[in-house]
Amino acid sequence: MNMTAKITSKGQITVPRQIRQHLQLSKGDRIEFLIGADGKVTLLSATASITALKGMVTKPKKPVSIDDMKKAIETAGGRKG
């Protein structure tokens, strides 16, 4: 299903009703825009419950120890990506 919105001169848009309902958005809620590596933009509710994040990150195949985490941090040395 495709939906469009018009951008005002101030750069504002009205989020279509079906999208607001799907994301359970209400007046005053915040939204987040994510730009993927493929250039696609994803719209998320920034006020969603923490439980909405469940399953977003896959569970590691084996448990990660604190020592493993510390080693990974030391190896990365604060580098990004």
Neighbouring C-beta atoms of residue 18, cutoff 10 Å: 10
The arithmetic mean of pLDDT across residues 66-73, rounded, is 90
What's this model's pTM, rounded to 2 decimal places?
Answer: 0.52
Contact between residue 61 and residue 81 where contact means Cβ atoms under 8 Å apart: no
Instruction: Output the CA torsion 80→49→29→35 (10° steps).
Output: 30
pLDDT band, very low/low/confident/very high, at 10 (cuts 50, 70, 90): very high
Q: Is residue 15's pLDDT more than 90? A: yes
Q: Where are the domains of the chain?
A: 17-76
Interval 19-67: pLDDT, tens? 999 888 989 899 999 999 999 999 888 876 677 777 777 888 888 899 9
In the prediction, which pLDDT does 80 show? Answer: 62
Q: Is residue 79's pLDDT more than 70? A: no
- Reported as type and span, the H/E element at residue 44 is strand 41-45
Q: Is the dihedral of CA 64, 66, 69, 75 positive or negative?
A: negative
Instruction: Output the CA torsion 36→15→3→41 (10° steps).
Output: -10
